[in-house]
Amino acid sequence: MDAATVMAKYNDLVAQLNQAMLVTDHDRVPLLWQIMAHLGQPDRYFHVIHIAGTNGKGSTGAMLAQVLQAQGYQVGRFSSPAINDDREQLQINGHWISPADFIDTYQEIVPVLHNMQLTAADVSIFEWYFLIGMVWFRNQNIEWAIVEAGLGGQFDATNALGGPQLTVFTKIALDHTKILGPTIEAIARNKSKIIKPKTTVVTLADQNPAALPVLKTEALNQGVRVVTARELTMTVTAADLQGTTVDAHSDQFDWSQLRLHLVGRYQVQNLSLVLTAIAVLRQQRVTLSDTAVRAGLKAVQLPGRLTILQSAPLIVADGAHNPDGMRGLVASVQALLPKKRLIWVVGVLKDKAFPDMLTALLPAADLVIANTPANPQRALPAELLAQTATDLRAGTRPEVLVAPTIQAALTLAQQRATADSAIVVTGSFYVMRELQQAGWAVLPDD
């Protein structure tokens, strides 16, 4: 078949998958355990680093993957959400799964389901990507897999993994509270259930103080240790929209002048976690040279994280989609662009804590343009977002406007921009996808 025919077949296949989100069904992980067993436990053929947390999973996973790849390992990565194409969720050494490999792997799994008296429709689309990823990774003889939990941990499809070498927890904050629970402790408890015997847990030195005891308790229950960096100092020696240079020191590592092509204060926090994980891997006799660490970190480019879309007027895009993420974004933008008049183009989902997101954003805004993300089921109407912003603002500032689409919002933002303006597009990864589909280069095609 020619490439166009294969792509059409792939698109038809994906369209037929069960689109339901089944993470709230508590019987899903035991079912996936059974499917993985019938598939021959594909995750036992490579080393796994399992990552969970509220914010920073993608950045942390990308850094670890690039460092391992720079050392010469074959590295698979399962992450979500996708921005341009769902195949982004499955990569080996930075290359997306091909439509042909996706179809072939799907066809390899279907007979196994039939032998279990299951059909393809009994597996949700997220579960399908997870299963296809694990089998594809095995078939491609990878050595390491970086696997990010999709939502929570306890009932997430990725909890069907057997025995990760490392279990890494990024920043835990309030998000998906209707599913995971209303408190940090409840959310941390859900995420902590991915901890398994024989793993090593790595988390932030400044992990949320309500979350850390929960992680430590579950680690104790599983008989495994928790590693955090002590006496940590992360000194930013240079920072602009092209990248960040950091001196990093702790009881676990000692680095000077590490260069990241990632920007934002939150990336420095993610870097401290990655360096701690690297230190633990080295203790486990995993070969990771200083040269590979430096080269890998320098090579990381992550879409939708303070990504520059245009220089005049300056437009940057970031997928911050919860209050903690928005606070981190605002702090980063204010530090990087202290003299800019900030125009915020914002679209959010209605199941997010958008009033708290706006509370973080409004003091840093000269103009807010609300738009409705292209997700009919979950999008918050721009009019409601704008009304909430108007109710929350102090007095009559910032000005709040509404635009029907992301492109209309950007056109309006550019019309209102002056020489000292910067435009920040944010609120959801669905907004990032919409930007890409509208022709803005949030990420390159594979």
Separation between Cα atoms, residue 329 and residue 220, nearest integer Å: 34
**Burial annotation 135-144 (CB, 10 A radius, 16+ → b, else e):** bbbbeeebeb
Number of structural domains found in the chain: 2
Q: State pLDDT tens for residues 3-23.
A: 999 999 999 999 999 887 665
Residues 282 and 339 grouped into a single domain: no
Pairing of strands 341-346, 144-148: unpaired
Residues 289 and 321 grouped into a single domain: no
pLDDT at residue 441 above 90? no
Q: What pLDDT, on the 0 to 100 scale, is given for residue 283?
A: 97
Residues 196 and 260 grouped into a single domain: yes
- Mean pLDDT over 89-111 rounds to 98
Residues 80 and 213 grouped into a single domain: yes
Task: Report yes or no on 443 lying in a domain.
Answer: no
Sequential DSSP letters for 183-212: SHHHHHHHHHTT--TT-EEEE-TT--TTTH
Pairing of strands 75-78, 144-148: parallel
Neighbours of 441 (CB within 10 A): 15
Task: Report yes or no on 446 lying in a domain.
Answer: no
Question: Residue 261: is it exposed, middle or buried by C-beta count within 10 angstroms (0-12/13-18/19+)?
Answer: middle
- Tell me the H-state helices in 284-423: 290-299, 323-336, 354-361, 382-392, 406-416
Residues 272 and 393 grouped into a single domain: no
Separation between Cα atoms, residue 441 and residue 309, nearest integer Å: 6
Q: Which one of 299, 316, 347 terminates a domain?
A: 299
Expressed in percent and rounded to 5, the helix, strand and coil fractions of the chain are: 45, 20, 35
Phi/psi of residue 259, nearest 5 degrees: -110, 130
Residues 133 and 252 grouped into a single domain: yes
- Edge-to-edge strand ranges of the sheet holding 243-249: 233-240, 243-249, 254-260
Residues 147 and 274 grouped into a single domain: yes
**Using 50, 70 and 90 to split pLDDT, how confident is the model at 114?**
very high
Q: State pLDDT tens for residues 312-370.
A: 999 999 999 999 999 999 999 999 999 999 999 999 999 899 999 999 999 999 999 99
Task: Report yes or no on 94 lying in a domain.
Answer: yes
Which contacts qualify for 390-393: CB closer than 8 Å, 24 or more apart? 392/355, 392/358, 392/359, 392/362, 393/362
Residues 293 and 342 grouped into a single domain: no
Task: Report yes or no on 22 lying in a domain.
Answer: yes
∠ CA 437-443-444 to the nearest 5 degrees?
95
What DSSP element (H or E) covers 33? helix 28-38
Residues 30 and 165 grouped into a single domain: yes
Task: Report yes or no on 444 lying in a domain.
Answer: no
Q: State pLDDT tens for residues 396-431.
A: 899 999 999 999 999 999 999 999 999 999 999 999
Q: Is residue 351 within 8 Å of 378, Cβ to Cβ?
A: yes
Owning domain of residue 287 = 3-299
Q: State pLDDT tens for residues 153-199.
A: 999 999 999 999 999 999 999 887 778 888 999 999 999 999 999 99
Separation between Cα atoms, residue 31 and residue 157, nearest integer Å: 10
Residues 37 and 145 grouped into a single domain: yes
Residues 293 and 376 grouped into a single domain: no
Q: What is the CATH number of the domain that holds 344?
A: 3.90.190.20
Residues 204 and 312 grouped into a single domain: no
